[in-house]
């Protein structure tokens, strides 16, 4: 990753961790430097839940983690970590700092994009997995409603979508690797969001493999 970032002229990548990351290890690292990002390599930094930072005069809030809908088929401590789910205390802490311009999450929020909601509904998940997802989404949604960002960007559902709410807030759900809509440029002065198009993917279709 450092090699390709360097080749691209990118000095630093800030990561909002997702649900398949080793949260047991991450939590231990975050505990060594409370309230600060931790270095994963020379150029890559992981952001703890509730971290606020500024870029170009805009206030960002990172609130990572998400519910692994397939956790029942995974092995705890090897391919699934219970710490992936944000706690109520973490949600309260993240919300306590007041409004932000941009909120970065991994899990989706309730009332976000139509595409993410439809993707969630298509899954054939157990009642336990659905309840787990609903609990985590409720906490992420509570942060979103409290800090009322002008723009929210999230991943997790592997689907590209966008929505502008009646109050002007915008929500973007992002695709995963090999999908259109997995990368965007945010121009900070006007908070203008532009999806990055990849001609090869456009020619070969979704996936582009």
Which CATH number covers residue 68? 3.30.750
Convert the pLDDT of each residue in 19-74 to its tens digit. Answer: 999 999 999 999 999 999 999 999 999 999 999 999 999 999 999 999 999 999 99
**How far, in Å, CA of 12 to CA of 6, rounded?**
9
Convert the pLDDT of each residue in 85-107 to its tens digit. Answer: 999 999 999 999 999 999 999 99
Residue 34 lies in a domain: no
Residue 146 lies in a domain: yes
- Residue 202: count other Cβ atoms within 10 Å of its Cβ: 11
Residue 42 lies in a domain: no
The residue segments making up the domain with residue 65 are: 55-204
**How far, in Å, CA of 101 to CA of 88, rounded?**
22
**pLDDT above 70 coverage of the chain, percent:** 95
Residue 39 lies in a domain: no
- 81: buried, middle or exposed (CB in 10 Å: 19+, 13-18, 0-12)? buried
**How far, in Å, CA of 18 to CA of 65, rounded?**
5
Residue 50 lies in a domain: no
134: left (phi over 0), alpha (psi -120 to 50) or beta: alpha
Convert the pLDDT of each residue in 191-201 to its tens digit. Answer: 999 999 876 65
Residue 27 lies in a domain: no
Nearest residue to 146 (alpha-carbon basis) of 75, 188, 95, 183: 95
How many structural domains does the chain have? 1
At residue 81, φ and ψ (nearest 5 deg) are -130, 125
Residue 44 lies in a domain: no
User: For residue 142, how many C-alpha atoms fall within 13 Å in the half-sphere facing its CB?
Assistant: 18
pTM of the model as a whole: 0.93
What's the maximum distance between 2 C-alpha atoms anywhere in the chain? Answer: 47
């Amino acid at each position: 990753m450092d090699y390709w970032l360097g080749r691209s002229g990118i000095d630093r990548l800030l990561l909002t961790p997702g649900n398949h990351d080793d949260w047991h290890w991450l939590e231990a690292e975050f505990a060594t430097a409370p309230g600060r990002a931790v270095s994963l390599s020379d150029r890559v930094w992981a952001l703890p839940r509730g971290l606020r930072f500024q870029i170009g005069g805009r206030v960002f809030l990172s609130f990572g983690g998400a519910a692994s809908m397939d956790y029942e088929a995974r092995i705890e401590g090897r391919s699934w970590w219970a710490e992936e789910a944000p706690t109520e205390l973490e949600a309260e802490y993240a919300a306590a700092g007041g409004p932000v311009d941009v909120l970065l999450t991994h899990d989706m929020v309730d009332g976000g994009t139509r595409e993410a909601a439809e993707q969630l509904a298509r899954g054939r998940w157990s009642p336990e997995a659905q309840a787990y997802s609903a609990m985590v989404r409720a906490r992420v949604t509570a942060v979103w409603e409290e800090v009322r960002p002008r723009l929210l960007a999230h991943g997790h559902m592997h689907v590209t979508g966008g929505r502008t709410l009646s109050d002007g807030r915008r929500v973007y759900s992002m695709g995963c690797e090999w999908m259109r809509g997995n990368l965007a440029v945010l121009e900070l002065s006007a908070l203008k969001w532009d999806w990055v198009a990849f001609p090869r993917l456009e020619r070969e279709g979704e996936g582009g493999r």
